[in-house]
């Protein structure tokens, strides 16, 4: 909307409110009204409209529940709605590679590959699972180090883009927990590049990853840094995690782990603080 692009948030909200009088059951319009009110600083009324949107779209494909957390109108959450994540990346798929590499200077896959080759310089992996594989950027970076490469993602359109690269032996549309439950003791390498930022509570994932790995299996992933304890949903609707908290979750399911600070993307020309983790199951 042109009014919002010009920063005229109150005017945009007024116009959308008029539109909603004519189409009160239009979910996208209700969400846009709530978002405009939020941007205009009308937080209480924005929360009312986000809740009205949820009555129209209980699956929450536009992420109103996350907005309510950010506004302080809902308690902190440990996960984002599946419908929201799926829709977000379906919409993003066609321009995903360009946006990440050119706009955000994204280097996660390359940094993960470098960490793996530094830690295991002579190792080749038999069977790798790329969690949240998206369009296949991680797959491209790791393909020559693995014999069989599988990918899983919620977004059908992201998987269609990955298929065009012809680097995966198999791809599956599923969430992370569902994919990990399917094949216990199967993989010797599992990767999650810029994926776990969409999950708050990582304990269930860590437990299932350790079960899906063989002996001497390796799990490598990236996260954004949170300075205080635990995890928190940010205004970018991505979770940040405290490294000490993450380390405590890794101690039981994994035999060893290392945590290395780093930045894997830029926002508004500023590095986003993060860290890279390598966790290993027992031999």
Instruction: Say if residues 29 and 64 touch (Cβ distance below 8 Å).
Output: no
Instruction: Say if residues 253 and 96 touch (Cβ distance below 8 Å).
Output: no
Q: Return the SS3 of 122.
A: coil
Neighbours of 231 (CB within 10 A): 22
Nearest to 157 by CA among 209, 246, 95, 243: 95
For residue 7, what pLDDT is reported?
Answer: 75
CATH 3.30.70.60 applies to domain 94-280? no
Q: Which two tokens stand for residue 153?
A: 């993602």
For residue 247, what pLDDT is reported?
Answer: 98
Q: For the chain, give every residue range classified as CATH 3.40.50.150.
A: 94-280
Top-tier CATH class for 2-75: mainly alpha
Q: For the chain, give every residue range classified as CATH 1.25.40.10.
A: 2-75
Residuewise pLDDT in 10s, the chain (283 residues) = 566 777 788 998 999 999 999 999 999 999 999 999 999 999 999 999 999 999 999 999 999 999 999 999 988 888 899 999 999 999 989 999 998 888 899 999 999 999 999 999 999 999 999 999 999 999 999 999 999 999 999 999 999 999 999 999 999 999 999 999 999 999 999 999 999 999 999 999 999 999 999 999 999 999 999 999 999 999 999 999 999 999 999 999 999 999 999 999 998 889 999 999 999 999 9
For residue 132, what pLDDT is reported?
Answer: 97
Block residue for tokens 């190792």:
123
Instruction: Say if residues 209 and 147 touch (Cβ distance below 8 Å).
Output: no
221 exposure class (CB count in 10 Å sphere: 0-12, 13-18, 19+): buried
If phi over 0 gives left and psi between -120 and 50 gives alpha, with beta otherwise, what is residue 148? Answer: beta
């Amino acid at each position: 909307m042109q009014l919002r692009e010009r920063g005229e948030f109150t005017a945009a909200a007024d116009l959308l409110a008029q539109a909603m009088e004519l189409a009160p059951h239009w979910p996208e319009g209700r969400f846009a009204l709530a978002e405009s009110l939020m941007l205009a600083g009308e937080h209480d009324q924005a929360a009312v409209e986000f809740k009205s949107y949820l009555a129209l779209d209980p699956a929450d494909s536009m992420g109103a529940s996350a907005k309510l957390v950010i506004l302080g109108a809902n308690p902190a959450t440990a996960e984002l709605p599946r419908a929201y994540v799926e829709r977000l990346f379906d919409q993003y798929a066609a321009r995903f590679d360009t946006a990440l590499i050119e706009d955000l200077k994204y280097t996660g896959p390359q940094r993960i590959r470098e960490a793996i080759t530094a830690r295991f310089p002579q190792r080749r992996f038999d069977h790798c699972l790329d969690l949240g594989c998206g369009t296949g950027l991680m797959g491209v970076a790791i393909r020559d180090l693995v014999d069989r490469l599988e990918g899983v993602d919620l977004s059908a359109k992201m998987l269609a883009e990955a298929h065009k690269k012809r680097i995966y032996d198999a791809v599956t549309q599923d969430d992370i927990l569902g994919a990990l439950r399917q094949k216990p003791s199967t993989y010797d390498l599992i990767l999650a590049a810029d994926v776990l930022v969409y999950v708050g509570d990582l304990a269930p994932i860590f437990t299932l990853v350790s079960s899906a790995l063989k002996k001497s299996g390796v799990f490598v992933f990236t996260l954004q840094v949170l300075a205080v304890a635990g995890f928190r949903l940010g205004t970018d609707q991505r979770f940040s995690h405290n490294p000490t908290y993450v380390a405590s979750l890794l101690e039981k399911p994994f035999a060893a782990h290392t945590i290395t600070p780093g930045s894997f993307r830029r926002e508004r020309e500023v590095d986003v603080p993060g860290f890279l983790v390598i966790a290993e199951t027992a031999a």
